[in-house]
């Protein structure tokens, strides 16, 4: 286990009825399931606050069962499903569908409801009704709200309903049609580019609306140096803004697109080394609050053609290993900070209870081997899709066990 200093210590954990009963060094009771976790590190279960499960409407890519199994294999014990399904999750009935289905899944599945009807960005939904049905956040993820006026109303209604608003920041007048980051690589490939301004202009707009009206806002999948600077400055002024980034933005750069492999295409796109370093610095200094995957499955057939393929990559099974390898092992952050980024902070943003690993807390945690080096093999993914940008790459930190609600939902030695 890790403590706030970032160091590790040895403890036993006793679980009963899904709750941590006791921690420390003790002789375990007889006739209980025992896990020998020698050499493993225990962290609170990861909370991935940005996941596309594709159910209903596109279950050939992913469904709630396959997505939750992939989550468990990555140490994720709770996830937030985005609303851009077919049809969109913009009604109480749609939210209740996910809530009912989620009760039987190996990990905790929560739902973000659509902010606008049909994700069209024109007429806002009744956020209070959606919350009563079980939604824990609102977002039109995949599309931005089209103007500052409707954004203001969305933030007002989200605050009144007690729901976080998660903003997809993209100015379509600047980004529309862009396949990759605008710059040298887009010119070499001779394809339209999506420049940093397409993200940063919308981040600036949403931060300004939040600041002028004393309203909270959360910025999704930050990828540019300019966005980081806007958010860092806003936080210094006391603006109620939080943000997330994904492992591919602090690990990979646009150069991979020269392979013309659509598995490296996502929205926002991979950026330059300058942007990657800015995102890394923002994680280190606390500007970025949380890590999320933006897990976006697509079938191999859909990803086959570089120029026509949809944007999106999968990431549930690699969130912990990539973050541990790229952030903790080089000394950029501590294990404790990693737990904060992947569990405590997203829980706080989503207003979910977080108690850590202590007596009385829900038994949601993962055990991983920090010394186990492995290569990402897409064909072994628990997801229905294979579009990982980390294929063939080597990382440390293999998840050995995931425990959710006190039950072992993933064991690397057995297929779940």
Taking CA 227 as the corner, what is the angle to CA 393 and CA 389, rounded to the nearest 5 degrees?
Answer: 15
Read off φ and ψ for residue 46, nearest 5 degrees.
-70, 145
Task: Give the count of beta carbons closer than 10 Å to the beta carbon of residue 247.
Answer: 25
| CB 298, CB 385: distance < 8 Å | yes
| CB 241, CB 219: distance < 8 Å | yes
How far apart are alpha carbons 313 and 294 in whole angstroms?
8
Does 294 qualify as catalytic in the annotation?
yes
How far apart are alpha carbons 370 and 2 in whole angstroms?
12
Active-site entry in 171, 206, 263, 294: 294
- H-only helix segments in 286-333: 319-323
Query: Which run of H or E residues covers position 378?
Result: none
Coil vs helix vs strand at 180: strand
How far apart are alpha carbons 172 and 150 in whole angstroms?
16
How far apart are alpha carbons 189 and 178 in whole angstroms?
12
HSE of 119, CA atoms in CB hemisphere, 13 A: 19
Read off φ and ψ for residue 118, nearest 5 degrees.
65, 15
Supply the Cα-derived Rg of the chain in whole angstroms: 20
* DSSP result, 85-140: SSS-S-SHHHHHHHHHHHTTSSSEEEEEEESBGGG-SSSB--HHHHHHHT--EEE-
CA distances (Å), 173 to each of 24, 103, 141, 178, 197, in order?
A: 57, 41, 17, 11, 10
Tokens of 238: 């006391």
- Count helices and strands (H / E) in the chain: 12, 16
How far apart are alpha carbons 150 and 229 in whole angstroms?
25
Tokens of 255: 């150069």
How far apart are alpha carbons 343 and 261 in whole angstroms?
32
Which residues are designated catalytic?
A: 294
């Amino acid at each position: 286990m890790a403590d706030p200093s970032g160091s590790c210590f040895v403890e036993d954990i006793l679980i009963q009825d899904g709750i941590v009963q006791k921690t420390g060094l003790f002789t375990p009771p007889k006739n209980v399931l025992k896990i020998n976790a020698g050499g493993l590190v225990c962290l609170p279960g990861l909370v991935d606050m940005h996941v596309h499960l594709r159910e209903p409407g596109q279950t050939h890519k992913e469904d709630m069962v396959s997505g939750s199994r992939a989550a468990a294999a990555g140490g994720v014990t709770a996830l937030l499903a985005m609303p851009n399904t077919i049809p969109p999750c913009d009604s109480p009935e749609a939210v209740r569908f996910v809530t009912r289905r989620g009760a039987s899944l190996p990990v905790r599945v929560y739902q973000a409801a659509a902010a606008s009807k049909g994700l069209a960005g024109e007429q806002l939904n009744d956020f209070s009704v959606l919350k009563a049905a079980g939604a824990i956040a609102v977002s039109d993820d995949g599309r931005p709200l089209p103007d500052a006026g409707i954004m203001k109303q969305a933030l007002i209604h989200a605050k009144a309903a007690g729901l976080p608003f998660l903003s997809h920041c993209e100015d379509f007048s600047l980004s529309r049609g862009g396949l990759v980051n605008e710059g040298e690589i887009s010119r070499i490939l001779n394809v339209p580019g999506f420049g940093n301004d397409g993200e940063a202009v919308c981040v600036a707009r949403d931060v300004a609306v939040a600041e002028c009206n004393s309203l909270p806002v959360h910025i999704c999948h930050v990828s540019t140096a300019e966005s980081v600077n806007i958010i860092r400055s806003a936080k210094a002024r006391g603006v109620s803004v939080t943000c997330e980034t994904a492992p591919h933005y602090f690990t990979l750069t646009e150069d991979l697109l020269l392979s013309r492999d659509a598995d490296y295409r996502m929205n926002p796109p991979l950026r330059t080394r300058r942007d990657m370093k800015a995102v890394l610095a923002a994680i280190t200094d606390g500007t970025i609050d949380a890590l999320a995957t933006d897990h976006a499955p697509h079938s191999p057939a859909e990803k086959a053609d570089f120029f026509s393929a949809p944007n999106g990559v999968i990431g549930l099974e690699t969130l912990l290993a990539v973050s541990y390898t790229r952030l903790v092992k080089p000394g950029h952050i501590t294990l404790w900070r990693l737990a904060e980024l992947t569990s405590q902070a997203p829980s706080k943003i989503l207003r979910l209870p977080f108690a850590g690993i202590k007596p009385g807390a829900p038994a949601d945690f993962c055990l991983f081997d920090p010394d186990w080096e492995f290569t990402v093999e897409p064909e072994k993914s628990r997801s229905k899709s294979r579009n990982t940008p980390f294929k063939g790459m080597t990382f440390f930190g293999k998840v050995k066990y995931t425990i959710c609600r006190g039950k072992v939902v993933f064991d690397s030695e057995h297929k779940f």
